[in-house]
Amino acid sequence: MHNPKLKVIVADLSESRIDAWRSDALPIYEPGLQDIVTDIRHDENETPSKESRQSNLHFTTNVKDAINESDIIFICVNTPTKMKGSGAGSAPNMRYLESAVLAIAENATSDKIIVEKSTVPVRTADSIRTLLDANARPGLKFDILSNPEFLAEGTAVRDLLYPDRVLIGSESSPSGATAALTLENLYAAWVPRERIIHTSLWSSELAKLASNALLAQRISSINSLSAICEATGANVQEIAHIAGLDQRIGAKMLKSSVGFGGSCFHKDVLNLCYLAESLHLPEVAEYWHGILKINSWQRERFARRIIHKLNNTLTGKTIAVLGFAYKKDTGDTRESPAISVVQTLLSEGAYVNIYDPQVTPAKIYEEVAMPAYHDHIRISANVYEAATGAHALAILTEWDEFCSGDAPTEKRHSVDSGFASNVATPATKSPASSRSVSPSSQKSSEDGKARMDWAEVATLMKRPMYVFDGRNVVDPAKLQGMGFSVESIGQAL
């Protein structure tokens, strides 16, 4: 992937963010990321001898120079959901994109290829063109391409190196085709050309929203079935396995859970609803709203199940929450289902001990945003501290260390959940303190990954020891054999 002739400049207005990217402690946790930004030299025996930053990778806050030096400019700014004004609550906020385009228009002194990397509404390229025409120096040529980002957090590096597809949308003109080929050649350094797809700008812009909405829809569909399973005695893991064997359905993204989270699914489905409403298609908007409704309902249902099993009163009881990130292998908490579950537990009067290997205490307090209940939240340094004196334990993120060893149904059926990462997970290091599983209690499983010791947890909890597994990562039979009462998603035990 390394092309010594190519210079890559990452420009951002935020000095603290650029400083963090320049430092040894990168601002985000992502397995394999450190290796991407590091140039590892080997000695004559092929052993790594010297590590330094990739010499062609530069981080800067000098946006003007970065624009001038570049032939291709990727716009990668945030497009969060608008919080006020027209479209508040569902339309994307385009102000960062607009200011990036204006910066290009005002500073460019040569022709540029501008690539939309951010998730943008369909026909955004039209608005970019209008801004450039009105503000750039006359005589300059700008080609606009759409190249949406499909990588998922936690597997971002793997998704980057081995993508299912790279999508390039371009204007239907000779100049558009040349620009698209230039971008294709960039990717072709590591992606087989048959995986690089060319479409119109509008299909490419819509494809990102469409893909995320369809993925979110699968999770809400299986989650709606999980409720039927709990009421009937069927098992959602078996249902997902059987359905997934039908190649037209496929096995991925069918893992029932406490609900999906993350910065993309919720926002992108909302964007699609907004688009449908603006196109006067209320039935379409309502259909996609239903996907989000099931997702909130699944979170509430999980919290209500905890309350119900604990005799409808949580006052003064302690619940250990294992995992706060929206999925494993990331410290990201945006739209995490843990937020609303913890909020419900707190408002029922519970004390909540929270342990997550990657999320900082400050982030947890900020997300829960219930200052009046802060003395009811205890941030734990490891699983055992969280479990001490707890009446129940709720697993809200599928971190490997929370699995009970043999992943139950997955192992029996080899279900490919779409969760599994082939990227080696480095030993997780807490950003806050020495918050990791104490080595004496750590168990290793067949896959060599550290696991919590459930036998030790059993000595720490109050009886009856409830385990609410929001990610179906424990083997209920195994834990029941150890004296736990297990409540899994989509399984009536």
- Of 289, 299, 390, 398, give the one whose Cα is nearest residue 343: 299
Structure-token match 């950003």, residue found = 431
Q: CB of 396: closest distance to ligand UDX in angstroms?
A: 10
The gap between the terminal CA atoms of the chain, to the nearest Å, is: 50
Residues 236-275, interacting with ligand UDX (CB under 6 A): 253-255, 257, 260-262, 264-265
Q: Which of residues 48-87 bind ligand UDX (CB under 6 A)?
A: none
Q: Return the number of the residue (142 or 326) whose C-beta is nearest ligand UDX.
A: 326
Between 63 and 151, CB nearer to ligand UDX = 151
Tokens at 353, concatenated: 């001990």
Nearest distance from C-beta of residue 308 to ligand UDX, angstroms: 22
Beta carbon nearer to ligand UDX, 92 or 176:
92
Cα–Cα distance for residue pair 83/88, rounded to 1 Å:
5
Q: Among this protein's residues, is 264 annotated catalytic? A: yes
Site string for ligand UDX, 317-346 (x = CB under 6 A): ---------xx-------------------
Tokens representing 8? Answer: 């890559």
Shortest distance (Å) from residue 80 CB to ligand UDX: 14
Q: How far is the CB of 264 from ligand UDX (least distance, A)?
A: 3
Minimum CB distance to ligand UDX, residue 292 (Å)? 13
Distance CA 130, CA 243 (A): 48
61 or 263: whose CB is closer to ligand UDX? Answer: 263
R_g of the chain computed on alpha carbons: 24
CB of 187 to ligand UDX, least distance (A): 16
Spatial distance between the Cα atoms of 359 and 431, rounded to a whole number of angstroms: 7
Residue 406's closest CA among 455, 445, 452, 458? 445
The footprint of ligand UDX on residues 296-315 (CB under 6 A) is none
| 181 contacts 237 by C-beta, under 8 angstroms | no
Q: Mind giving me the DSSP string for 367-416? A: HH--GGGGGGEEE-SSHHHHHTT-SEEEE-S--GGGS-SS-HHHHHHT--
Which helix (H) or strand (E) element contains residue 322?
Answer: strand 318-322
Are β-strands 166-170 and 142-146 bridged in parallel, bridged antiparallel, or unpaired? antiparallel
Instruction: Give the H or E element holding residue 105.
Output: helix 95-107
Q: Please identify, using beta-carbon distances, which residue of 204 and 212 lies nearer to ligand UDX.
A: 212
| CA–CA gap between residue 269 and residue 210 (Å, rounded) | 8
> In the bound complex, what is the minimum distance in angstroms from residue 484's beta carbon to ligand UDX?
23
Q: Which of 76, 229, 264, 273 is catalytic?
A: 264
Task: Let me know: does 436 contact 428? Beta carbons within 8 Å.
Answer: yes
DSSP state letters, 165-183: -EEEEE-SSHHHHHHHHHH
Classify residue 441 by its DSSP letter. Answer: G
Residue type, 298: Q
Q: Are 183 and 72 in contact (CB under 8 A)?
A: yes
Fill in the per-residue mask, 115 to 154: x = in contact with ligand UDX (CB under 6 A), - = not in contact.
----------------------------------xxxxx-
- Count residues near ligand UDX (CB under 6 A): 22
Q: Smaller CB distance to ligand UDX: residue 70 or 81? A: 81
In the complex, the smallest distance separating the C-beta of residue 394 from ligand UDX, rounded to whole angstroms, is: 15
Dist CA 176 CA 381 (whole Å): 54
**186: its two tokens:** 């960039």
236, 83 contact by CB (below 8 A): no
> Judged by CB under 6 A, which stretch of 27-35, 278-286, 378-386, 412-420 contacts ligand UDX?
412-420
Cβ atoms 133, 102 nearer than 8 A: no
Minimum CB–partner distance for residue 327 and ligand UDX (Å): 4
Using the minimum distance from each CB to ligand UDX, give the nearer residue, 388 or 425: 425
- Residue placing its CB nearer to ligand UDX in the complex, 318 or 488: 488
Among 237, 417, 488, 491, binds ligand UDX (CB under 6 A): 417
Tokens of 307: 């309350």
202-231 residues near ligand UDX, rule: CB under 6 A: 212, 215, 219
User: Is the Cβ of residue 176 or residue 262 nearer to ligand UDX in the bound state?
Assistant: 262
Q: Which residues bind ligand UDX (CB under 6 A)?
A: 149-153, 212, 215, 219, 253-255, 257, 260-262, 264-265, 326-327, 417-419
| Catalytic residue numbers, as ranges | 264
